[in-house]
Amino acid sequence: MEEERTAQDPRPEADPEEDPGKESDEVVLSSPAQFKALGHPVRHRMVNVLRQRPATLSQLSSVLGLAKGTAGYHVRVLREAGLVRLAETRQVRGGTEQYFALVSESFRFHKDFTGGSELLFNAALAEMLPTSPGQARHTVLRHLWLTPDEAHALVERLKAQAAEPYPTDSSRGEAYGMLLSLYRADIPNLSAEED
26-172 topology per CATH: Arc Repressor Mutant, subunit A (1.10.10)
- How does pLDDT run across 53-94, given as a tens digit for each residue? 999 999 999 999 999 999 999 999 999 999 999 999 999 888
Residues 48 and 120: their CA atoms lie apart, in Å, by 13
Strands 106-109 and 26-29: parallel
Residues 180 and 154: their CA atoms lie apart, in Å, by 11
Burial profile 17-30: b = 16 or more Cβ within 10 angstroms, e = fewer: eeeeeeebeebbbb
Looking at residue 190, its pLDDT comes to 52
The more confident residue out of 37 and 195 is: 37
Residue 175 neighbours by CB distance under 10 Å: 12
- How does pLDDT run across 151-195, given as a tens digit for each residue? 999 889 888 887 777 666 767 777 777 777 777 776 666 566 665
Whether 35 contacts 115, CB under 8 Å: yes
Residues 88 and 6: their CA atoms lie apart, in Å, by 5
Give the 3-state DSSP-derived string for 24-91, with helices as H, strands as E and coil as C.
Answer: CCEEEECCHHHHHHHHCHHHHHHHHHHCCCCECHHHHHHHHCCCHHHHHHHHHHHHHCCCEEEEEEEE
Residues 107 and 177: their CA atoms lie apart, in Å, by 16
